[in-house]
Amino acid sequence: MSIVNIVAKPKGYHHGNLREALIAAGLKALAEDGPAKFSLRDVARRAGVSATAPYRHFADKESLFGAIAVESYDRMRAKMDEALAEAPDDPLERFRATGIAYVRFAVAHPAHFLALSMPGVLEHVPLEQRQAYEARFEEERAAIAKGQEAGTIARMPLDQLFLTANAVVRGLAHMIISGELGAVSAKRAAELAEQVTHVLGVGLYPRSEIPE
Kindly report, residue by residue over 64-118, the tens digit of the pLDDT.
988 999 999 999 999 999 999 999 999 999 999 999 999 999 999 999 998 888 8
When pLDDT is cut at 50, 70 and 90, the band that residue 18 belongs to is very high
- Among 56, 77, 62, 74, smallest CA distance to 26 is for 62
With a CB cutoff of 8 Å and minimum separation 6, the contacts of 201 are 92, 95, 96, 211
Average pLDDT, the chain: 89
**What pLDDT, on a 0 to 100 scale, did the predictor assign at position 31?**
84
Confidence of residue 1 (pLDDT cuts 50, 70, 90): very low
Q: How far is CA 125 from CA 95, 103, 121, in A?
A: 25, 23, 7
| 3-202 to CATH, choices 2.60.15.10, 3.40.50.300, 3.40.50.2000, 1.10.357.10 | 1.10.357.10
pLDDT tops 60 at residue 54: yes
Q: Does residue 180 surpass a pLDDT of 80?
A: yes
Q: Residue 30's pLDDT band (boundaries 50, 70, 90)?
A: confident
d(CA 32, CA 55): 23
Quote the DSSP letter at residue 11.
P
What residue ranges do the domains of the chain occupy? Answer: 3-202
pLDDT of residue 47: 93
* 79 vs 42: CA distance, rounded Å: 31
Confirm if 61 and 40 have CB atoms less than 8 A apart: yes
Burial of 150 (0-12, 13-18, 19+ CB in 10 A): exposed
In Å, how far from its chain's centre is CA 58? 23
For residue range 186-202, list pLDDT tens digits in order. Answer: 999 999 999 999 999 98
